[in-house]
Amino acid sequence: MKPLANPTYLRALRGQSTDYTPVWIMRQAGRYLPEYRATREQAGSFLDLCRNPELACEVTLQPLRRFPLDAAILFSDILTVPDAMGLELSLNEGIGPQFAHPVRNAADVERLPVPDPEDELGYVMEAVRTIVSALDRSVPLIGFAGSPWTLATYMVEGGSSKDHRRVKAMIYESPQVTHRLLEITSDAVAAYLNAQIAAGIDAVMIFDTWGGTLGDRAYREFSLAYMARIVSQLNLGDENDPDGRIPVTLFTKGGGQWVEDIAATGCDGIGLDWTTSLGDVRTRLQDRVTLQGNMDPMSLYASPEQIRAEVKAVLDDFGSPGRHVFNLGHGILPDINPDHVAVMIDAVHSLSRR
């Protein structure tokens, strides 16, 4: 395979030197871009867009045409996996994602299959292959999945939820059933990510959006343990492969207190939200892993001057050049002005140039 024209993101994750701090944005292909809204319209709906490899490729590339981003991320959603497990996903503007068949008890759990990703999720693998070919080794492509715990919150609640009451009741009332659900979901996620790797992604990210809502012991037992299990099941290759080992980033929103344990999973990168200091975590982990983050997504509402100052503050908090991938601390919001995104990316590149 030919080398990447811009390997900065992968180099930062592997702990190699870089000319500047690489940057990408969670949800970079999304509603804040008018061209995204137009393509979603053309597809019919968000799910139609996910299931159309040509159009999924188109929206993956849209932010890269506008901004000099250092990575592309597959356009899809974490909830395609439970959909393929038979829960039947729908997504409605204003309501959010919903499952027709939520998982509520032991019998529901035992019925769950581990889907064959090339079959039930073949449209995602086709999108990966289409994007890989369109990118033509310009920048790396990040593939992703949800963490088993985060997927379980949607699978048990039947959709988004304020307090995750049902799934949290389940961990205390029926821990064995919960573990069985997380085991099956982990196997589904590992198979799904391995299929994305076979289809050509260059890096893996696992989104644990709701791990931070768990108590300390429950986080380790019900979220982190299953992410660790997935990391150990991935076909990442090794340092001696001509293209290098595929790096894995774990992002637990609200997970700053667990970074030592997250690093112990063998991941290469840890995503952090804006409530944690990059500099503090760097001191705790001593550059054993790469840190991704962590500008407050809301700071993009500010003026260009304030955005530049905020970027500088994040870079300064991280400190001297090292294992850092710049990002927001969570997904970009739908009403952000794209011009402000351009200011942020330019500031990251120019202020961090060695």
Among 53, 82, 97, 115, binds ligand CP3 (CB under 6 A): 97
Stretch that binds ligand CP3, among 21-29, 108-116, 308-316, 344-352 (CB under 6 A): 21-29
The verdict on 28 binding ligand CP3 (CB under 6 A) reads: yes
Smallest distance from the beta carbon of 301 to ligand CP3, in angstroms? 17
b/e sequence 44-72, b meaning 16+ C-beta within 10 Å: eebbebbbbbebbbbbbbbbbebbebbbb
* Whether the Cβ atoms of residue 32 and residue 333 lie closer than 8 Å to each other: yes
**What separation in angstroms does the CA of 77 have from each of 86, 177, 277?**
16, 26, 28
Q: How far apart are CA 354 and CA 348, in angstroms?
A: 12
Contact 71, 141 (CB under 8 A): yes
- Concerning whether 154 is annotated as a catalytic residue, the answer is yes
Which of 40, 51, 282, 308 is flagged as catalytic? Answer: 40
Choosing from 70, 77, 208, 268, the catalytic residue is 77
The amino acid occupying position 226 is Y
Question: Is 34 an interacting residue with respect to ligand CP3 (CB under 6 A)?
Answer: no
Say if residues 346 and 312 touch (Cβ distance below 8 Å). no
Of residues 10, 13, 29, 155, which one binds ligand CP3 by CB under 6 A?
Answer: 29
Burial class, 243, CB count within 10 angstroms (exposed 0-12 / middle 13-18 / buried 19+): exposed
Q: Using CB under 6 A, which of 73, 131, 184, 289 touches ligand CP3?
A: 73
40 is catalytic: yes
Show the beta-strand stretches assigned E in 2-126.
72-73, 89-92, 96-99
Residues 175-214 as x/- pattern, contact with ligand CP3 by CB under 6 A: --------------------------------x-x-----
Q: How many residues bind ligand CP3 (CB under 6 A)?
A: 21
The residues annotated as belonging to the active site are: 27, 31, 40, 77, 154
Positions in the binding site for ligand CP3 (CB under 6 A): 26-31, 40, 46, 73, 75, 77-79, 91, 96-97, 144, 160, 207, 209, 331
